[in-house]
Structure 1
C-alpha cells in the first residue's frame, strides 16, 4: 500500500498553520508525510485508521533510527498538531495523539562565544568600503547586536529599519511583531547600506540585477532573499571556528545577563513567549561565572 496525498490532507494541514513560521511549516509538512508513508507501508491507508499504539510504535521507531531526542520530540509535536487539527475538523472521530510522549530535548547548553572571539569576527565595528563585506558584517551585527533569529533576519524588508531610527522591526514566531534595539555598529552600517552600499552590492555582485527581490533588505548573489544557508556561509567566512548562526543569538542573551540585564527584559528582547525558555541563559551565565572562578581563584 502506498501513501496517497489526498487521503492524508497534508497540504490542507499546512495551510491551517497560519501563525507558524515558514520553517516550521516546512518541517511539519515533512514530518507528517514521513509518518504517512510509514503508516501506509504498515497497511494504514488513512489517518482515521491510526491509533495511539501505532503512534507510540512510530516514535519508538524514530529512536531506533538514531534520530536525536530533539528531532523525535519535534516530530511528535508535528503529529499532535496534525491529528488535533483532523479531530477539530471532524475528519477523525478521536485524536489518537493525546498524551503522545516523546523524549525531551538533550538539555545541552548552547555554545556561547567569548568576547575576544566576537571581536575577532566582527572587527572594530567600522564601516567597510567593500559592499559585499558591508552586507556580511551588517548581517552578523544584527544577529549578535540585536539577537535576531536567522529566520527573522532573512525576512527583513527594506522598511524594517527606518532611516534615523535606532530599532529594527522584526516578525518573530507566530507572526508576532517586536521592536529590537540596534547596536551602534549596526546603525552606522545600516546607514551606509541605505546610502549606496546596497545599490553597489546589487551592481557589483548580483549575477542578474534585474532579478533582485525588490522588497528584501538582504539578498544573495542570485538576487533572492537571504536564506539560512546563505547566512551560514557568511558566518563561515568570518568565524574563527565552526559556529552555527543561532550561537550569536545565544551569545547576545548570555552577554546581556552577564552585564546585569533583567531576565524579563531579555525575554522581551528575544521574543520568547515563556519565561522558562529564557531561563536557560541564566544557567549558561552561572556556568560561565563558575568557570571563570575556578580558572582564576587560587582556592577554587
Structure 2
C-alpha cells in the first residue's frame, strides 16, 4: 500500500467502509463519530504504509510502532488514546467478521493521561452572553436568543441543537425530545425564558426558510432551517460563528467560549445550585454516570459548607463555642 493512498484500491478502504457501516447500523454511531473513526483509521493505515504493512495484515509490533510514532510526533495523549480505541474496535470487527483469526490490538495499552477538568463559564459570563444576545437586532437576533436559550437551558450538544426537528416539542411544548449519541432519546424540560424565546423565534422563523420550493421542503422539517446548507438546517460551523460574534459583543475571550463550554456551564451551574448527579446525567444524555462525575469538582465548596452547617458534630461544636 502506498502511504499516499491509504484508503484506495490497494489499501484497506473497503474494510474501513464496512467497519463504518457496521458502526452506523449496529452501534448507532453519529456522522461526526464516523468521520472521526475514518480519519483515525486512515492515519494509522498511512503510518503502517510507510513500513509496507496494511491494516488488514498488521501485527502487534507494527501497531506498537504506530503508537510510538504518535508519541514522537507530540500527539496529545487524549488523541492517541482515541486513535487506539478506533484501532481496537476495527480489529474486533475484523475478528468477528472472519477477516482475521487473531486480534493484534489486544496487547496494546493507551498512553497515560490526566483527566482534565472541563472549561466552564461563570454565571456572570453567561449573563453577559445573554445580555449581548438581547441586543442583537432583527430576525437573526431573535433566532440567536432562541438558540442560546435552548443550548444553555437544555445542556444540548451543538449537533442536537442545530438539527432539532420542528416536532421535537412535546407535552404542550414544555419539553423537547432529543435523540442523542447512539440513538438514545431523552426528554429535556425547558425554562420559561427558553419557551418564550422559542415562541418569539417561531413568529419570524419563515424568514430563514429557502425561497426555492425544492429546498424549502427539506428545511421546513427543522426548527432552525437554513437557506443554503445542504442538510436543510443551520450548520454547526455557522452557529459557532454566531456564538463567536456574541462572545466578542459580550466582552469575553472567544478562546474560552464554545458551544460545548456552554454545555459544561449548564452542568456545573446545576450541580452548584443543588441538582443531584443522576439528574444531570439524564439531562446531558450520558450513558454512564462516570462521564458526568467530571463535573463534581464544582461541588467541593458546597459540600464543605453543607458539612459545616448540617453535620451534628459541627453543630455541637458551635453550641459549645456559644456556651
For the criterion TM > 0.5, the same-fold answer is yes
Question: Shift of residue 226 of structure 1?
Answer: 2.3
Counterpart in 2 of 1:27? 36
Question: Shift of residue 288 of structure 1?
Answer: 8.8
Counterpart in 2 of 1:295? none
Matched residues in 1 for 2:86 and 2:302: separation? 35
Task: Identify if the C-alpha distance between structure 1 residues 10 and 107 changes in structure 2 by more than 3 Å, giving closer, same or farther.
Answer: same
Matched residues in 2 for 1:66 and 1:288: separation? 39
Question: Shift of residue 46 of structure 1?
Answer: 4.8
Matched residues in 2 for 1:183 and 1:145: separation? 6
Is 2:283 the partner of 1:269? yes
Question: Shift of residue 220 of structure 1?
Answer: 4.0
Which of 122, 135, 140 is equivalent to 2:130? 122
Matched residues in 2 for 1:134 and 1:68: separation? 40
1:128-182: CA deviation from partner (whole Å, max 9, x where unpaired) = 7621111112112112111001121132111112483211111111110111111
Counterpart in 1 of 2:163? 155
Matched residues in 1 for 2:194 and 2:50: separation? 53
Which of 34, 37, 40 is equivalent to 2:49? 40
> Which runs of at least 4 in structure 1 moved beyond 6 Å after TM superposition?
124-129, 287-290
Q: How many residues align?
A: 285
- SS state at 2:43 partner: helix
Matched residues in 2 for 1:130 and 1:75: separation? 45
- SS state at 2:169 partner: coil
Counterpart in 1 of 2:65? 57
Within 5 Å, which residues of 2 pair with 1:233-272?
Answer: 233-239=241-247, 240-242=252-254, 243-272=257-286
TM-score by length of 1: 0.87
Q: Judge conservation of contact 1:161–1:169 (CA < 8 Å) in 2.
A: yes
Which of 16, 31, 50 is equivalent to 1:10? 16
Within 5 Å, which residues of 2 pair with 1:78-89?
Answer: 78-89=86-97
5+ residue gaps, structure 1, are: 291-300
Matched residues in 1 for 2:20 and 2:104: separation? 19
Task: Identify if the C-alpha distance between structure 1 residues 135 and 105 changes in structure 2 by more than 3 Å, giving closer, same or farther.
Answer: farther
Q: Judge conservation of contact 1:127–1:188 (CA < 8 Å) in 2.
A: no
| Structure whose alpha-carbon radius of gyration is higher | 2
Task: Identify if the C-alpha distance between structure 1 residues 241 and 128 changes in structure 2 by more than 3 Å, giving closer, same or farther.
Answer: closer
1:184-219: CA deviation from partner (whole Å, max 9, x where unpaired) = 22111211222x2111233xxx68685342322213
Matched residues in 2 for 1:245 and 1:173: separation? 16
TM-score by length of 2: 0.81
Question: Shift of residue 285 of structure 1?
Answer: 3.6
Question: Shift of residue 13 of structure 1?
Answer: 0.8
1:12-42: CA deviation from partner (whole Å, max 9, x where unpaired) = 1111112111111000011111111221221
Which of 179, 194, 197 is equivalent to 2:204? 197
Task: Identify if the C-alpha distance between structure 1 residues 107 and 162 changes in structure 2 by more than 3 Å, giving closer, same or farther.
Answer: same
1:254-300: CA deviation from partner (whole Å, max 9, x where unpaired) = 0111110111111111111111111111113427999xxxxxxxxxx
- SS state at 1:5 partner: coil
Matched residues in 1 for 2:29 and 2:20: separation? 9
Question: Shift of residue 106 of structure 1?
Answer: 4.1
Matched residues in 2 for 1:143 and 1:166: separation? 15
- SS state at 2:188 partner: strand
